[in-house]
Structure 1
Amino acid sequence: MSFNKKIATKGFYNIELVNIAEWYAQSRQEDKEKFNVLPFRIQLALRTNMQEVNKTAQSLIEIRNELVQALWNKYIEAGKTEEVEVNGAKQIEIKKEFAEEYQTEAAECQKKFDEVLNDRTEVTLSVFDMDAVYDTLPDDCRLNIRDIDMLSFMDKIQQDEEIKENTVVEGK
């Protein structure tokens, strides 16, 4: 069966992109062959789409890591940390007298990051009628419910387009 590919720009919350990237990486790590059950065109589109999703997800992860590292460095440079032994291993921790201050600043960093996660980003993807794709899958395929749910990011945005068209028609 042939599936018609459509190129579409879809808006996602940044947190959705991070979740999709994490799901795909974890699924591939658990079972590299899992997605081979998909039609070849869908497999290719999935890999290409994941490259697009990963661009934003990777940038977000880098920003988060930089925020955390900058805060940590601030406390190390100011001498607000100490070396402690935990289970025989030495670790650096925030001194108790600065713990509340650190928690407040860490919460501020998290708030900044959460704002970015709740922003929307447009990603250009190859999309398909995923319901038709699912109908072609064998009953014993290795994709689980979560995989099928997460693959919906590649679904055509046909309903959204129909809603927009109806809105325009009603507005005339």
Structure 2
Amino acid sequence: MEKERYQRLVRRLIYLSHTRLDIAYAVGVVNQYMHDTHSSHLKAIYRILRNLKSALGQGLLFASHDHKSVEAFTNADWAGSIGDRHSTSRYCTFVGGDLVTWSNKKQAVVTRSSAEAEYRAMAQAMCELTWLQTLLTKLGIEIDRPMKLYCYSKAAISIANILSNMIAQNT
């Protein structure tokens, strides 16, 4: 009975996390234990619900802007998963200043450094930007500014620049 209740609550929180980014990470963590639940996991669900109750009326705001810029912001935590030492990639994309997509996903491989984890997050965000550009073009929406990718890791940016230069030399 407790397992079924836990799974039902997690499914509802996953749906809610699409408009409440503040709970997205916590919901992602409790989602990992859908099939192997303990009482401590249910307590975590109740903490998320208490947080939601204390912050009623908060959510995403979509406003009208006069520009159609496309931007992505990336982040990663190196070996942040205690259980298997995998890193977590995070990115969010904005079109015209409004948040349109985001991701908080455990990386498929164990990275050897924080720079590698950040670079993998940048690569995932670039895939999302490419998809957004294709989608906007098919919808007939013209982007009036170059797309931008933001990352605070100087090492990951250096890796991306080196690889970009190598690709440019080979073409």
Q: TM-score, normalised by structure 1?
A: 0.21
Which structure has more RCO (C-alpha within 8 Å, separation ≥ 6)? 1
- Answer with 1 or 2: which has the greater Rg: 1
TM-score by length of 2: 0.22
Q: Kindly indicate which of the two structures has a greater share of residues assigned to helix.
A: 1
